[in-house]
A and B are shown apart, each in its own frame.
Chain A
């Protein structure tokens, strides 16, 4: 212990432990969340020096106003067809999530994670990337797979761990792996995909390829050491990679303050690494598209990496195993000042005279039917818990390229034990 008398004239220290503004039962007021107008953010040259991104890392790149109009330097001026395609993919992601969430509640699978409210983050990025750019997603970018045309039945087969599951029932639901759609195998371990994406991008550059990599993590996961290592590597080698931080305000029950959001933005982390940093309205599909397109061009012209913070809100629980009413105010999702990404793009198209309520309702009906039909098809291959859908001996395969003796022995032992037990 220290000498009490010698230190008696000093103020006692106090430990700051962050606390979210609203807990269950609290009224919600997001008035202090800055929503700058769409013309507030300048669009720099894609070769701009990373040191010049201060205001963009602390500001907010926006294209869509909440009234449905679009403007500003970042407006990507997409054709109505392109925007309708994005709208459809967002609505499809929402319909898919809704259906699979219900399937979990019906006991057809063990687990599911929705991306409600964050659809623009995946769909806007997927629309701006080339189809053969490699994505290293977290578990909440199912919109990329849907954008890239992955069959719904294949995704559902994985969720059900059934006979049609290409991952042979080995993986937790939603931990997809789809090399043919440039979608890297999802891991349960957070942010491990970040340095891997950098490595993929470095390999592409070393080989003189033209493809780039993009990766995603949540704001909570930026606290992992992998995030720091990935940013350092990407900066050092000017890797053609796009870092996406999906700041949805919540990491399960921890608000973003526990990842450092009280002191700075996540986009601002880029500045310290010498990486271009953009902070983007994550509920604005056109802003996400524009930022991704900008970062992709920067990467493709050897300008190096970009970190994009997507400022959004996790409108649902973390997963089917989570109950957000235990730790945050129920009023938050509806009070979120950046609105709903589907509604905002819909209203924009309507304002342009390129869409209407009736067509939107019709689209939703079609998508619900498409998802329902896919579900019916997938369930023909079985659902979780109704018997083992993969031959049990396959669990020993694929640990190594060739199965070594000790695994073959364990496999033979298991077969013998089950035969002896009559199962």
Chain B
């Protein structure tokens, strides 16, 4: 075991899978010699050489399209998109190609690629360094969407994603690369130093895709969250003294519906929290599923605390971000009934 922040855990996952499988290759803008703008691929090129870890031209269509072709050859590429805000040029390759390849060829060809991309706000990233596009991809059949919230999960989920034979979008909440953000932007930031999930095995392990984690057991209300919002939600309920059950979804597709259903049936209340904009966001799917499966157990309408339906603003970030105040209000509202 070693102390790792999320970047180090991701780096370790790449290192471990590359050591075990010569077909794993890492590619993307600035990932090679430099080691990535967030340092996630630091040291990998020196260790595994330029044919396994290489810098690419600045073309997201090309990065994902080339990775798909490498996957069809028999490699297991892990392309990086520098910010999730820049994944849109590659949308056609992801939606029309990676996600459909197994289905349209009846298994003749597959795309065992893992697209890593930093996502989410809380860093004054403005409109194009803060977005949370997961809902675009959860809407696409054939692609898995994974979002870790701790160093331990980041490594285990990334290894599982790389070893998975389906295309995986692996979104990394960059706000918590260095520490578990509690939503209080005006207080000193924490690091992963004392967090139990900052303790990470140095060798190979997997956190299975499709499994949620109940990170706090409680009785009064279920909070469904992922990424940075897991920590913001946990801190908010501690501050308010609410006995909430917090479920970190970890994988959005395929979703751990069993964990959600069992918890909401127990608590009778549900608050969904995500950074992404509200309309047609993944929270809408979660809300619909809870309503369909737990209707007779619900004591109050399902609440969603999300980013507003606007582009991500720069100077108004902390009014936009679904922080402790907004989560607290939603919890009070569902607990009132």
Contact = CB atoms under 8 A, between A and B. Distances in A.
B69 A167 contact: no
Contacts of B104: 167, 170-171, 175, 177, 185, 187
B210 to A, nearest CB: 7
B109 A195 contact: no
Interface of B: 25, 51-52, 56-57, 59, 61-62, 64-75, 77, 89, 92-93, 96-97, 100-110, 141-142, 144, 164-166, 210, 253-255, 257
A134 B71 CA distance: 13
Given A229-B61, A230-B62, A200 B96 contact: no
A316 interface: no
Contacts of B52: 206
Interface of A: 134, 136, 166-168, 170-171, 175, 177-179, 184-185, 187-189, 192, 194-207, 213, 225-226, 228-230, 232-233, 236, 398-401, 404-406
Given A200-B73, A404-B210, A167 B106 contact: yes
25 contacts: A166-B108, A167-B104, A177-B104, A178-B108, A185-B104, A185-B108, A187-B104, A192-B92, A195-B65, A195-B69, A196-B65, A196-B66, A199-B65, A200-B70, A200-B73, A201-B69, A205-B51, A207-B75, A226-B65, A229-B61, A236-B57, A398-B103, A399-B102, A399-B142, A405-B254
Contacts of B144: 400
A401 B73 contact: no
Contacts of B25: 206
A189 B106 contact: no
A177 B109 contact: yes
Contact of B103 (A166, A196, A198, A399): A399
Contact of A168 (B92, B101, B106, B255): B106
Q: Which among A199, A236, A405 has the greatest number of chain B C-beta atoms within 10 A?
A: A199
A196 B69 contact: yes
Contacts of B93: 192, 195, 226
Q: Which among B71, B104, B109 has the greatest number of chain A C-beta atoms within 10 A?
A: B104
Given A187-B96, A399-B102, A406-B255, A199 B68 contact: yes
Given A226-B61, A229-B62, A233-B56, A179 B73 contact: no
A74 B33 CA distance: 43
Given A177-B108, A187-B96, A401-B165, A199 B102 contact: no
B142 A400 contact: yes
Given A177-B104, A226-B65, A399-B141, A187 B97 contact: yes
B59 A185 contact: no
B247 to A, nearest CB: 16
A200 B106 contact: no
Contacts of A200: 69-70, 72-73
A232 B108 contact: no
Contacts of A185: 101, 104-105, 108-109
A170 B62 contact: no
Contacts of B73: 134, 199-200, 203-204, 207
A202 B164 CA distance: 22
Given A189-B92, A398-B102, 6 more contacts: A179-B105, A195-B62, A199-B66, A203-B75, A229-B59, A232-B62
Contact of A203 (B56, B69, B141): B69
Contacts of B164: 401
Contact of B69 (A178, A188, A198, A406): A198
Contact of B96 (A177, A192, A203): A192
Contacts of A199: 65-73, 77
B72 A202 contact: no
Contact of B106 (A177, A198, A405): A177
